[in-house]
Structure 1
Amino acid sequence: MTTAATPPRTSFAWRGLFLRLHFYAGVLVGPFILIASLTGVLYALTPQLESWVYSDQLRVPATSQQLPLSQQVDAAVATSPRGSLVAVRPAPEPGATTRVLFAEEGLGESERRAVFVDPGTGRVTGDLVVYGTSGVLPLRTTLDQLHRNLMLGEPGRLYSELAASWLWVVALGGLVLWISRARSSKRVRTHGLIGVWVLAGALFLSATGLTWSAYAGENVGVLREAVGWSTPTLQIPGGSGGHGDHAEHTSTGGGHGDIDAVLGSARSWGVDAKLVEIGLPATPGGAWKVVEIEKGLPSQGDSVAVQDDAVVASVEFDDFPLGAKLTKWGIDAHMGVLFGWPNQLLLLLIGGGLVALVVLGYRMWWKRRPTSGFGRPAPRGQWRKAPRGALAGLGLGALLVGWFAPLLGISLVVFLVVDVLLGRRAKTV
C-alpha cells in the first residue's frame, strides 16, 4: 500500500516550467515593475498634494455672484500671455478659479499655458503650464512623465510597456504556482499570499497600461476599431473632431464675446457636468466645442458643437460602444480619478502590494541562488517533460501574444537564449 499520492510527472513538469518562467520574468523584469509601481503610487497621491501646493492659483474666496465668463477671459487676456487663446474651463464650484488656456510656442506636446482667474472679481491669481485634457499641473505632470517614460521621452516608454507586458504573465504564473503548492503543502509563503490578493489589480493595471503603450497600444487600437469599439469623435462643422485624453487643441482664434451664450446653449442641451472645457472656433464664425471633462463620475463624457447659439453636432456618452466606455473607465481608474479617493486608496494598496512582491521575490532568489547551497528552484529542461501537443499549443499561444505585445515576445526570446547559453556554459565548466 502507498501512504501518499505521488504527483503526476506531467503536473510536476508543468509546475517546473511555470516556475522557471516566473523566476526569469521576476528577476529580469522585476526592476521595471518595481519602478512602475513606485511611480504609480506617487502619482496616485498627487491630487490632494497638488491642491495644497498650488492653492494660490486654484482657490479663491467663495462668492455668490460671478462675473460673466467673457469678462473673466478678458482679464486673462489682459495679462498679455504670449500664446493664442484656445479654450476656457469655467470654475466648477464656488471657491475655485476659472482656467483660461493658451497655446504657446515652446511648450511640449499636449501642454498649454493656463491663466487662473477669480470668477468673482476678475483678479488673475497666477499662471501655470498644464498637461493633457485632465489639465494636470506641473507637479503631477512630472510624476506622470516619470511613471510613463522615466522622463526620457519616447525611448523611455519602452520601460513601462515592458512592465505592463510582463505583469500579467508574472501574475498568472504566480497564481498557477500558488495553487499547485497549496495542493501539496500546507505552508503558505507571504510572497504568494500577497500575489493572490493583488492579482486582479495587477491584471487590471497591465491591461489598461498596455492601452497607452507604443507598440501593443497600437494593436489595441486596431483591434478596437475592427470590432467597432472605437471612441466616437465629435465632427465639428468646418473643423476636425477628436478629444483624446492627451489631445492638444489647435484652435487659432475668433472672438470670445459669445462664450457665455455658447455655454448656456450647451447647458440647455444637456451638458451638465461641473467641469467642462469650451474650445474656441478654429476659424472666425465657426463652431465652438464644449466637452464634459469630469473624471470622477463614469457617465460624464458628452460633447457638443455650438454655432449661432444652437447645438449643431453632438456625441453622447450613453451612445458610446461598450468597449469605448470600458476604455474610458479603465483609463480613469488607472489614473486614480474615478470615484475620487476610494480609487486612490485602492491604487495605493495594489501598488504597495506589487512593491512588496518584487522585494520578497528578490529575497527568495537571493536565498535560493546557486551559490547559496539551496540549489536551483527549478532545473533546466522542464519543457522536455511536458506533453508535446500541449507544449506546441503553448508555443503557438506565445507567438500570438508576442506578436500582439512585441516587447513581451522579444524579451521572451532573449530569456530563452540566455537560459540556453547559461546551460551550455554550465556543462562546460
Structure 2
Amino acid sequence: MRSVLDYWIMTLAPSTNAVSQQTRRNPSQAPRLLHRLHFFAGIICAPLIFIAALTGLVYAFSPTIESISNQEMLTVSKSASDTALPVREQVSIAQELHPDLDLSGVRLGDDSSTTRVLFADETLAESTVRAVFVDPYTGEITGDTTQYGSSAALPFRQWVSQGHRMLWLGEPGRIYSELAASWLGVLAVGGFALLWLRNKKPGRLRKMVRTGGRGRVKTYRRHAALGTVAGLGFVFLTFTGLTWSTYAGSNITDLRTQLNWTQPSVNASLTAAPQVDMHDEHAGHHMHMESATSGSGSIDLVAATAISELRTPLTITPPAQDGLAWTATENRDAYRFTTDTIAVDGDTGMLTNRLNSTDWPLAAQASAWLIQLHMGTLFGLPNQVVLGLLAASIIVMIGLGYWMLWQHRPREGWPSAPKRAGFEKPTWGTIALGVVVIAYGLLAPLFAVSLLVFIGLSLGVRFISRMSGRADTSN
C-alpha cells in the first residue's frame, strides 16, 4: 500500500514527462487546472465550510427562536382602555435600574410591543448596549438584558452570531469564517463551470441535474445536481458573508466608498445649539439623560414627531453633543425595504431634516437588502427557511464529496487525483482563469494567501519527487 507521502507526491507534483510536451497547446489545460483546484480545495477547505454551514443553519432560524423564547419580554397585552405612559416616564423607570448609565436610545414598537430603553455600558462588548424592557401601559419592567448591533439581537442570537462569524474565538476566529466564505464561492463557481464543460448540448442543464446511476456515479451526480441547483445561493452567501469579514470586508468597504455605494447619514445639525450649563460637573456626562427628562428637551416631543413621521418599530437616539438634533430611524423588519431617518429638534419637537432610503444610491439600497437576506430578516420565516436549506445543502454537498472520494479509492493505496496540468504554455482559457483568480484574490486576500500556500506546497512536493527520482536513479 502506498504511503500518504507517496500519494501527495503523485497528485500534487506537476507532470514533467513527455505527456506534458504533448499537451502544450491542449485546450483542456484550464479545465484540468480548475478540476485540480476544485478537488484539493474541496478536501482541504471543506471542514471550515462545514463548520460555517452548521453554525449558519442555527443562525438562520435564530430570529424566530429569539422572538418565541422571549415572547413574555417582548410583547404585552393591550385592552381598549389602556393608554401608553409618556416615553419620558418609561425612560425614568428604566433609569432606576441603571442610574449610572447614559441613555443611548429608545426603541418604540407597535401597540403589542414593549419599549426598549437602551443604555451605553462600557463594560459590554463592542456594538452591545444594555436593554431594559418596559411595559408601556403599566410601567412594569419585563426584562433587563443586552442588545447587539443594528439588528437588535438579544443574547441568544448574539451568541449564535459570534459562533458563525468567529467560532467564539474573538477576532482571530474571523479568519476561519473568511476562508470558508471565500472558498465556498470558488468551489461553487468552479464546480458549475466543470459541469458545464463536461456536459455537451443538447440537454446540458438536464444532464447537470440528473441523479440516477449506481455507486460513485450516483454519488457524483447527486453532488453535481445539488451544486447546480443551489450554486447561485452559495455565491450569494459568499459575497454577503465577506462584507462582515476582516480583510475582504475592509476591501469591500473601500470599494463601496470609492464608488459612492455607501449609506448616507441624515444631517443632524441645528442652527442654534441648546443651552447647557458647562460649569455643572455632570453636564457633559449626563447630558443625554437630562435632555430626555427635562422640560426644555423633552423626549416625548421627539417621540411624538418620530411616530407621526415614521413606521414602528423605530429607535430614537439622543444627540452625541451640543448643537445636534435627536435622530429617529425605522428599524429593520420583515418585508420592510426602506428604513427612513429623521432629525428632530429636542427643544421644540420640530422636524429639521429627513433622509429616505429611496434617496440612497441604488447600490447602497441593494447592499442593505442583501445583508438582510443573509441575516434572515428581510422576508421573515420564509427567508430563514431558504437560508436553512442552503446551509443544509452545503453540509450534504460536503458529505457527498467525501463519500465520493472514499468510493473512488482503489483496493490498495489512496484515491487518484485529477490529471496534472504541468508547466505548459498557457492557453487563452488558462490566462482568463488566471486573471479572474488574481482579481478575486485582490478582493479576498485570505483566499490569495491560502492559494499561494497550496501552490508552494505543490512546488515543494515536486522538488521532493525529483530529488527522490534522482536518488533512485543513482542507486
Q: Distance in 1 between matches of 2:312 and 2:374?
A: 22
SS of 1:313's equivalent in the other structure is strand
Matched residue, 1:391: 430
Residues 304 and 376 (structure 1 numbering): CA distance in 2 closer, same or farther, change over 3 Å?
same
One-letter identity of the residue aligned with 1:282:
A
- 1:148-188 per-position Cα deviation (integer Å, ceiling 9, x unaligned): 01111111111111111111110011102222333398866
1:371-428, CA deviations, whole angstroms, 9 ceiling, x for partnerless residues?
8557513132x15457444433432332222122111111111111122223444452
- 1:305 match: 343
Which residue does 2:378 correspond to in 1? 338
Distance 1:197 1:341 in 2: 21
Larger RCO of the pair (alpha carbons < 8 Å, separation 6+)? 2
In the alignment, is the contact (CA less than 8 A) between 2:130 and 2:145 conserved in 1?
Answer: yes
| Deviation at residue 63 of structure 1 after TM alignment | 3.2
Residue 316 of structure 1 deviates from its aligned partner by 0.9
Gaps of 5+ in 2: 1-24, 202-206, 211-216, 272-285, 470-475
Whether the 8 Å contact between 2:118 and 2:131 is mirrored in structure 1 is: yes
Within the candidate set 443, 454, 459, 1:420 is matched to 459
Task: Give the Cα–Cα distance (whole angstroms) in 1 for the partners of residues 287 and 436 of structure 2.
Answer: 46
Q: What is the aligned length?
A: 409
CA distance in 2, matches of 1:317, 1:351: 30
One of 161, 166, 175 as aligned partner of 1:144:
161
> Deviation at 1:107?
0.5
Higher mean C-alpha deviation, range 180-189 or range 257-266: 180-189
What's the counterpart of residue 401 of structure 1? 440
**Partners of 1:422 and 1:238 in 2: how far apart?**
67
- Structure 1 gaps of 5+ residues are 1-8, 240-249
* 2:170 alignment counterpart: 153
Out of 198, 210, 213, the position equivalent to 1:181 is: 198
Corresponding residue for 2:113?
Answer: 96
Pairing 1:27–2:43 present: yes
CA deviation string 1:262-299 (max 9, x = no partner)? 1222344x32x221001012246741110111232343
Q: What is the TM-score normalised by the length of structure 2?
A: 0.80
Correspondence list, 1:76-155, <5 A: 76-90=94-108, 92-155=109-172
Whether the 8 Å contact between 2:30 and 2:429 is mirrored in structure 1 is no
The one-letter amino acid of 2:450's match is S
Q: Mapping of 1:198-347 within 5 angstroms? A: 198-237=230-269, 252-257=288-293, 258-268=298-308, 270-271=309-310, 273-283=311-321, 286-307=324-345, 308-347=348-387
Instruction: State the partner residue of 1:164.
Output: 181
Distance 2:99 2:155 in 1: 18
**Which piece of structure 1 moves more, 250-259 or 395-404?**
250-259
Amino acid in structure 2 at the alignment position of 1:135: A
**Preserved CA contact (<8 Å) 2:270 2:323:** no
Q: 2:389 maps to which residue? A: 349
Separation in 2 of the partners of 1:396 and 1:371? 40
Identity of aligned residues (%): 39
User: Could you tell me which of 361, 364, 377 is aligned with 2:404?
Assistant: 364
Maintained 8 Å contact 1:254/1:282: no
Deviations 1:76-104 (A, max 9, x none): 112245421111011x2233211000111
SS of the aligned residue for 2:316 comes to strand
Question: Which segment is superposed worse, 283-292 or 310-319?
Answer: 283-292
**Distance in 2 (alpha carbons) for counterparts of 1:402 and 1:25:** 15
* The 10-residue stretch of structure 1 (52-61 or 288-297) with the greater mean CA deviation from structure 2: 52-61
Please state if 1:378 is matched with 2:418: yes
Deviating more after overlay: 184-193 vs 284-293:
184-193
Find the structure with the greater CA-based Rg.
2
Q: Which moved more, 1:145-154 or 1:281-290?
A: 281-290
CA contact (8 A) 1:251 1:279 kept: no
